[in-house]
Chains A and B, each alone.
Chain A
């Protein structure tokens, strides 16, 4: 019942039974995105996500800056997980520029990446608590992630948007005595997050709200191309740190957490298990790291790539596999840079899962897809 009056202006007849609700950008339950839901009573009939409110044109801006000055703006899609957003870019740039990374820098990058993953997942858990109406679940993660933000601040100087990775290594070496402080804080952090089981994951009201809602079967998860915790909650054992290890992940012992149910409860539990796994990885990396050495291979001021080439690198970030496709034509700026972000890939599961759900389940299903609206818009 939609007639197009002019290009871009459509007239839609209002159905008497179906109400169109705008869970819009100014809504405590939507993040920086608009979801247009059509509901019939309490059931959602159709859902149309409308991202794009935070689109800043990262990919276009990358074509005007050279490989070093690209770094501060490319980490903006996810400000607290910024190391993981930069990671595929610096790996790709290193391959294009043909430079080797020293060993200590690789370990520092691994530690920073795992810390960022935990910081992001804690923030995500806090917002999940708000969406479900659980204020304690908002306050505890927001407070406990301060330990890790403190570590990142010691390492890079900034609490968020660290801009610490450069093609060739990391910007600066770790401050003295960092290893001890890091170990102590990570141990305490792990003790704190183990308490979340009692207040959140074993909470009968949470279980009744998220179990068996928004079930994504294994074939659907693969067919829709989802990634990250959404995929692992549906039973697919796929983690890029194990399957396609980059930097020094092949020397570390990583266990992938997989759950079979594929409902919102599983999707909310897997990141928590991943965080405890990250603490293990940090401890191993701290042990194996070479105690001294250079952390950066110096580049000439305006680095040019050697030959026209294309490269596609991917990395497991807090939300899933993040890829970076760089096309270069031998100049100092990339010809085209494309970030393939996991939130955008998981977005396709949203209209698929919400059809037929109750309106009360919308926040829990929507946020359980590990969706970060700012990243999806780039």
Chain B
């Protein structure tokens, strides 16, 4: 199951930065959400990129080596306690599959409207063998228990293997599915 090719170290800082802050005036950003993003930035600095800070939504992009640490920080220091949903987005042009976690909080009443959007990217292969190729991400199940079934679904729908997940099995698809993972862009469901 380990790598035939070394996954290149794609951290967001190598990307061009069209969504960076210089064009926007800092006074437009909502204060509470800015506070959240500032706390994360001061702890992790360059390892993360703050994609946007909108009302009730803060989005952080992280590389796949650091996502585990960042998630742990989010749970321990910022009082977020559960993951609402996990989605995968397929970008065949960038040869990456993005996995987006929406994290919320029930216990902290100041955070009851906030959703922290945590996004990582996994490397994408053209001929996937789910579970046995380089599309691997660390699992967040030992931090947030609620991602268990969501990560199983992403495994079967995109082919992203979550390392450390106790039960990487099919959930919604039938047991004898032998085709591409269905939610990828090269799987065309029209005419099937």
Contacts and interface: CB of A to CB of B under 8 A. Distances in A.
Complex A–B touching at CB under 8 A: yes
Nearest to A347: B149
A224 B144 CA distance: 8
A345 B146 contact: yes
Contacts of B144: 225
Contact of A344 (B56, B149, B187): B149
A321 B173 CA distance: 25
A340 B107 CA distance: 21
B85 A52 contact: no
B85 A323 contact: yes
A323 B102 contact: yes
Contacts of A222: 81-82, 106-107
Interface in A150-179: none
A200 interface: no
Nearest to A243: B112
B100 A325 contact: yes
Interface string B161-192: 00000000011111110000011000101100
Nearest to B153: A344
A236 B106 contact: yes
Contacts of B82: 222-225
A231 B106 contact: yes
Nearest to B146: A225
Contact of B145 (A224, A236, A243, A344): A224
B89 A244 contact: no
Max chain A C-beta neighbours (<10 A), residue from B81, B85, B87: B85
A344 B57 CA distance: 23
B112 A238 contact: yes
A51 interface: yes
A238 B85 CA distance: 17
A24 B174 CA distance: 14
Contacts of B74: none
A325 B148 CA distance: 19
Contacts of B59: 310
B90 interface: yes
Interface string A295-335: 00000000000000010101000000101010100000001
* CB-CB nearest 8 A-B residue pairs: A225-B146, A340-B85, A52-B172, A225-B82, A338-B87, A243-B112, A244-B113, A55-B172
Given A64-B189, A223-B82, 7 more contacts: A57-B182, A60-B187, A225-B83, A225-B84, A345-B84, A345-B85, A347-B149
Interface of B: 56-57, 59, 81-85, 87, 89-90, 100, 102, 106-107, 112-113, 115, 117, 144-150, 170-176, 182-183, 187, 189-190
19 contacts: A51-B171, A52-B171, A52-B173, A60-B182, A60-B187, A222-B81, A225-B82, A225-B83, A231-B106, A238-B112, A243-B113, A244-B112, A310-B59, A312-B102, A323-B102, A336-B90, A338-B85, A347-B149, A348-B146
Interface of A: 8, 51-52, 55, 57, 59-61, 64, 222-225, 227, 231, 236, 238, 243-244, 310, 312, 314, 321, 323, 325, 327, 335-336, 338, 340, 344-345, 347-348, 377
